[in-house]
Structure formats: structure tokens, C-alpha cells
């Protein structure tokens, strides 16, 4: 197999792999929303409640404390 053919196969399978990853990501987004694991839509509120005095949608320090 010459290098050009190898590149072409490599390119094709890599693209196919990335397509699978993208579709898996779609599935992940919608299924975790449905199962209630994570509410992605609440992040839309980050733009609306963006005063410096507003409570963050997910506070960084609070989450870190939970992890500990």
C-alpha cells in the first residue's frame, strides 16, 4: 500500500470515527437531560443573570467543596 492510499483510508476512517463521536455526543446531551443527570438548559440563564451581584448558576467554590 503506498502512502497516498494509506492516507486516504486513514482520512476516511478518522472522519467516520469523528462522526460517531459527534452523534454519541448528541445522544449523551439529550439522554442526560431526559434522565435528569444534568440540566443543560439552565446554563442559558448565565447570560440573563450576569450582574456581579447575581448568584452564579453553578458556583465554582461550592462544587469544589462538594467534591472534597
Partner 1 sequence: MENRPLEYDYTVAKWFMLTTVVLGIVGMLIGVILAWEMAFPAVNTIAGSGLAEYTNFSRLRPLHTDAVIFGFTLSGIFATWYYIGQRVLKVSMAESKFLMFLGKLHFTLYLLVVVAVVGSLLLGITTSKEYAEFEWPIDIAVVLVWVIWGMGLFGLIGIRREKSLYISIWYYIATFLGIAMLYLFNNMEIPTYFASGGIGAWYHSVSMYSGTNDALVQWWYGHNAVAFGFTVPIVAMIYYFLPKESGQAVYSYKLSLLAFWGLMFVYLWAGGHHLLFSTVPDWMQTMGSVFSVVLILPSWGSAINMLLTMKGEWQQVAASPLIKFMILASTFYMFSTLEGPIQAIKSVNALAHFTDWIVGHVHDGTLGWVGFMIMAALFHMAPRVFKREIYSKSLMGTQFWIQTLGVVLYFTSMWIAGITQGMMWRAHDEFGNLAYSFIDTVAVLHPYFTIRAVGGTLYLVGMLLFAYNMYKTMTSSRRVEESELQNASPMGA
17 is an interface residue for partner 1 by CB under 8 A: no
**Which sign, positive or negative, has the C-alpha torsion 21, 23, 27, 30?**
positive
Residue 21 C-beta: closest distance to partner 1, Å: 9
20 is an interface residue for partner 1 by CB under 8 A: no
Binder of partner 1 out of 47, 65, 67, 68 (CB under 8 A): 47
Residue 3 C-beta: closest distance to partner 1, Å: 13
Angle at CA 31, nearest 5°, toward 30 and 37? 105
> Which residue, 41, 45, 65, 67, is CA-closest to 55?
45
**Which residues of this protein are in contact with partner 1, per CB under 8 A?**
8, 18, 22, 25-26, 29-30, 33, 40-48, 50-54, 56-61, 63
Amino acid at each position: 500500500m503506498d502512502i497516498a492510499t494509506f492516507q486516504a483510508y486513514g482520512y476516511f476512517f478518522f472522519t467516520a470515527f469523528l462522526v460517531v463521536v459527534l452523534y454519541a455526543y448528541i445522544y449523551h446531551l439529550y439522554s442526560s437531560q431526559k434522565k435528569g443527570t444534568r440540566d443543560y438548559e439552565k446554563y442559558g440563564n448565565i447570560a440573563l443573570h450576569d450582574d456581579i451581584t447575581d448568584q452564579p448558576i453553578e458556583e465554582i467554590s461550592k462544587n469544589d467543596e462538594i467534591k472534597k
